[in-house]
Structure 1
Amino acid sequence: MTTILVTGGTGVLGRLVTERLRADGHEVRVLSRHAQQYSVDLVAGGSGLDAALAGVDTVVHCASSPRGGDEKAAANLIAAARRAAVGHLVYISIVGVDRVPFGYYRSKLAVERMIEESGLAWTTLRATQFHDLLVTLFEGLSKSPVMPLPAGVSDQPVAVAEVADRLAELAVSAPAGRVPDLGGPEVLSLRTLARAYLTATGRRRALLTVPLFGRAYAGFRAGGHLAPERAVGRVTFGDHVAERFGGRGKTR
């Protein structure tokens, strides 16, 4: 069976990718700052990275941080993957990184280009935002009686498990370059999504749409982060919050 290394393998996505691959009988190494065997800070690099990649056939690069460092981490990973003669590098990116001038998106796009120019055989999958990201957003915004939302913005959330399934499939397939995007099943306004969250959590909040400014907001408002033509996910946001919060009690 193939030996596969998953960066960010202790994270929400990486952990699921690891589980899928191991269930199919592959040897999987988990690399992250918190991993037991391959505890490596990709931004810092170091000899531990070479040891983790020794004998690896495929790398699934899930490690990422909105706080920065992705490009340095990718440079270190690519250099080590070349030294180890890794045969396939699979990368998870985000729909809209080339259309929305948002700082984190720009970094993800830069990593895409680094991988494309690395000389390694590669596959890149872009996905829309995970359900959990919206839940985290709404949890923060609903702490006050009035819940502010960016005006005119929609989203197309997708189940992280479905993205993990696709990445696991790509990891054991031939390098394919940029593959079709993976979008959630529905494009809905943030107001509609927020209402679904409030209903599932038993909360009552007034919703206030607030116009924002800047090129990034304009990009989101224009739908640059959406892939309606690739609405191939099955689990809706309503399904997700109903399952996650369905047992929650009285209205708050």
Structure 2
Amino acid sequence: MTTILVTGGTGTLGRLVAERLRADGHEVRVLSRRTPPYAVDLRTGGAGLDAALAGVETVVHCASSPKGGDEQAARNLLAAARRAGVDHLLYISIVGVDRVPFPYYRTKLAVERMVEESGLGWTVLRATQFHDLVVTLLQGLAKSPVLAVPAGVPDQPVEVAEVAERLAELALAAPAGRVPDLAGPEVRTFDSLARAYLRATGRRRPVVRVPLFGKAYRAFRAGGHTAPERAVGKATFEEYLERRFGQGAR
């Protein structure tokens, strides 16, 4: 039995990773800012982090926030992991962090490099956006009478449970460095995803494609955040919508 620490273990992805590893009989410690017994803010570290890592062989680092702080959190986690003699640190990143000059992506890329240079055994998996994230974004956009989406931007959403399954497999294997990306089964236009969401939720909104500007938008429009050659995910966006909202749910 392996002792594994999952950071961000109460989040959308981390919770599923922890459940999968526990189902396989491993001791899993869930680290989050507010959940005892391992309630630790990685941005500040502290004694609680050392206690959480004591005796841990593998860390699955899922904790992340677009609001900032990821780099400091990684510094604290990596330093504590070295002190604890952790054998393997597995980090989940995003497809396109090296191609799309979006601030959050740049942060994820910086953390990747910190992991690679940490001196620990490491694995990095990049995945495309989760179905859940796409729906959260569309829910916000649909509050307006017109659902405006960025013109010409594709997307390739993936089922979060499939990413969790892959992370659990990697956590139980030897450090593998950068492993092949995990992307959803279809590259779709964002307006087609918006229309699918409206159908599933029974809402009526005009979908308007709005051109944007800047380097990040050009990179998104060019599909820098997609991986058509790694379309290995199984669940489609419509299948996710049906599970979540049912037929014509509101």
- AA partner of residue 23 (structure 1): A
Paired position in structure 2 for 1:237:
237
Question: Secondary structure in 1 aligned to 2:109?
Answer: helix
Letter in structure 2 aligned against 1:105: Y
Question: C-alpha distance in 2, partners of 1:248/1:143?
Answer: 18
| Secondary structure of the structure 2 residue equivalent to 1:125 | strand
Secondary structure class of the residue paired with 1:60: strand
2:103 and 2:109 map into 1 onto residues whose CA distance is: 10
**Offset at 1:144?**
1.7
Does the Cα contact within 8 Å between 2:199 and 2:248 map onto a contact in 1? no
Instruction: Spell out the pairing of 1:1-252 with structure 2 (5 A cutoff).
Output: 1-249=1-249
Shift of 1:245: 0.7
Unaligned runs of 5+ in 1: none
> Does the CA-based 8 Å contact 2:154-2:189 persist in structure 1?
yes
Amino acid at match of 2:200: A
Read off the aligned partner of 2:16 and give its amino acid letter.
L
CA–CA distance in structure 2, aligned partners of residues 59 and 79 of structure 1: 13
Shift of 1:222: 0.6
The amino acid across from 2:228 in the alignment is: P
Asked if the contact 2:126/2:182 (under 8 Å) is kept, the reply is: yes
The separation in 1 between residues aligned to 2:243 and 2:230, in whole angstroms, is 24
The AA in structure 1 aligned to 2:61 is H
Tell me, in whole angstroms, the C-alpha distance in 1 between the residues paired with 2:109 and 2:142: 31
Encode CA deviations 1:120-147: one digit per residue, 9 max, x unaligned: 0000000000001110111111112211
CA distance in structure 2 between the partners assigned to 1:149 and 1:124 by the alignment: 31
Give, as a single letter, the amino acid of the residue that structure 2 aligns with 1:188.
R
Question: Which letter does structure 2 place at the counterpart of 1:11?
Answer: G
Task: Count the aligned residue pairs.
Answer: 250
CA contact (8 A) 2:66 2:104 kept: yes
Deviation at 1:183, TM superposition (A): 0.1
Measured in 2, the distance between the counterparts of 1:247 and 1:124 equals 37
TM-score (norm 2): 0.99
The one-character-per-residue Cα deviations of 1:49-78 (angstroms, maximum 9, x if unpaired) are: 000000000000000000000000000000
Aligned partners of 2:3 and 2:28 also within 8 Å: yes
Is the Cα–Cα contact under 8 Å of residues 115 and 122 in structure 1 kept in the other structure?
Answer: yes
Q: Letter of the 2:196 partner, please give it.
A: A
- State the alpha-carbon separation in 2 of the partners of residues 113 and 245 from structure 1: 39
Structure 1 vs Structure 2: percent identity of aligned residues? 75
